Structure 1
Amino acid sequence: MPSASSTVQRPSRQDTLGPPITAGIVTALVGFTSSFAVVLAGLRAVGANQAQASSGLLALTLTFGLGILWLAWRSKMPVTLAWSTPGAALLVSAGMVDGGWPAAVGAFVVVGVLIVLTGLLPSLGRLMTKIPTPLAQAMLAGVLLPLCLAPFKSLGEVPLLVGPVALCWLVMMKFAARWAVPASLVVALAVIGIHIVANGVQIPGDALLPQLEWTTPAFTLEAAVGLALPLFIVTMASQNIPGVAVLKSFGFTTPWRASMVVTGAGTIAGAPFGGHAINLAALSAALAAGEEAGKDHGRRWIAAFVAGVAYLMLAAFSAALVTVVAAAPAGLLEAVAGLALLGTLASAISSALAVAEERVPACITFLLAASGISFAGVGAAFWALAGGILVRWLLKDREPLTPSHK
């Protein structure tokens, strides 16, 4: 007669590996499809042509996919990486810099160097933490505002094209919020497909094959100050620091130095091919680190590793996506990108206005960033942060006004 202990069923290898593998695939699908439109819009805004934007998307996916494999394997923790979505939105706001696309590529290299130095020099990391969070979030909100207005503008201009996309997004937000942007992207691609067929648009076959295109970086002071510095700050404040917090919430300690060195080096390597910045994943990090990746804490790193593999597979479709999106009716891509960033905008505004004493400087920062002001070749994001810090300093020691009593 078998003993009681012999009848206890132990989980099979399939049971223990199934959840992290599934979670890893979902992480990659959601991470890629939910924001690649923002990346394309950002790269095109700073001067990339279709081939260069396609190369940039491919370079980003390859570099952070390989980075995930290395970090997850070495640390045995569910560390996931991503491209800088807020950074791409910043590129849309910044527009073309003096020196054109090569100068933008040079700014991307500078961002990578700064990220590496953040990992190697603790003092630089501490300096980053001294930037007031409300101001950093207000700058991000101001940068995002024009892009988040795009769906509503496009809805008024081409309602028959944008309407189905917006309706799909709204329905999915009600029933499956995580899949709202990917689902709306599928609808957008269907609309683009109908548009291509109806108008007889010809797509060359070689344009569907992914390929990297080299651009020699050009380094200018205007691009370094007006593009690289704000891009670095936005990437750190909106991606890397929240990414650490997400992993910590699930009981994992991020390998900070290794993560910064890997993402910084990956940014430097991908920059000449059009990649603007890679960083720790924030929102999608929860998919690989949370309960959906399995109950076994020690096996959740497998979810991140699988996500890295899946990203490398998705890289093969980057050129095809860029080619199809390039044939889209005007305003449709921007509408999808704006919908993808609505949640980020809401979070940034909430964080910027959370502290009553910081609201006036935060509002100044937000309005300057949203205004698109440019001075001395330097874009609005830099002046927004500088103006917000100045206003904050001027108001810091001011006594609150109280009504006089006579």
Structure 2
Amino acid sequence: MSEKQPLPYNTVLHPGQTLGILGGGQLGRMFCHAAQSMGYKVVVFEPHMASPAGSVAEYEVVASYDDEEGLTKLLDYTNAVTTEFENVPATSLKYLSMQARVSPSAAAVAVVQDRIAEKAFIASQGIDVAPYAEIRTLADLEQVPTTLFPGILKAARLGYDGKGQARVKTLDEAVEAFKSFGEVPCVLEAMLPLKKEISVVMARGFSGDVVTFPVGVNTHINGILSSSVVGIESISSIIEQKAKDAAIKIASGLNYFGVMCVEFFILEDDSVVANEIAPRPHNSGHYTMNACLTSQFEQQVRVLAGMPLGATDLLAPTIMLNILGDSWFIDSQEAKEPDWDKVLALPGVHLHLYGKAEARKGRKMGHVNIVNKDPQQVLHYARQVSEILHLNAHV
């Protein structure tokens, strides 16, 4: 490696310079759009050609995430790198940090990559988590207390959008699920009496300054986020502030710089329990693209470039609806383009497609933001969008 030194945290990168991102998916694509609108160039590092982000970036490096030659080539383009998903090897982030500004850090991402470490860290910050047990062997599983059933068995690494998870009512079901996962390390969490699921998307700059976005109420279908509702469903100011304070405490404890999301459960007794951390922009924060003064992706650019954080005020009530590939297969086994003209004929509807070459059932293809000053109108048009695209959204 050359003698290139990482940028000091107080150094500002100005428009015209190149920012790097690890990962070529839709989050990377939306980062590219935000960076380019502010005058930056982007280099995408991605293992596969023709990725959603790589197709819109100025530069692209195609290599595996642990390929040192590829990582070194990335450093030829940029001295500031962020990531669009949490499963980039922490060792690669550490390698890059020897010569570049990396946000978030390898140490912070390493905690979040492992659910066992993540749960322990959150609890160490004095923040409530669901009762759980570490499961590394069948013997561990056979010793768990019965109070953890019914529960959810989650693979400690590489799980997202419901993957690597199984609901289990009994020890026998848990053993079967553990074996089906290949007996990899897991956590077994007790299922709790949920009232709502919420998320806090926030940004933390290198100076320690923090902003939080308005809290979204989330609904999942088959483990995949279906909708996020903001400014419509009532959340007490006490609960909202408790969740925001917890998210800020987590970011501070991780010494985290960048955009981060923390998902929480609100229980029937109104207690707040932290569920998971996402060290990146989050699906539940996509509403910010049309409903806030600054989007989560612009904040990601601002942090990486050392710019001041933007205001996060909500402009109007909003609902974000995810669009899966199922919408292409309503009446046929062959993909058919959905009725976008009908969707876009509705007032306050904003369509965001991710540039994926092939629609597949269960695959995230895009999202729709519905924004209107009248909450009832937001609900009305969101239901129409759901009907047109056959989303079956619970709004």
Q: TM-score range by the shorter chain?
A: under 0.3
- Between Structure 1 and Structure 2, the one with more strand by share is 2
TM normalised by structure 2 equals 0.23
More RCO (CA 8 Å, sep 6+): 1
Asked which structure has the greater CA Rg, the reply is 1
- Between Structure 1 and Structure 2, the one with more helix by share is 1
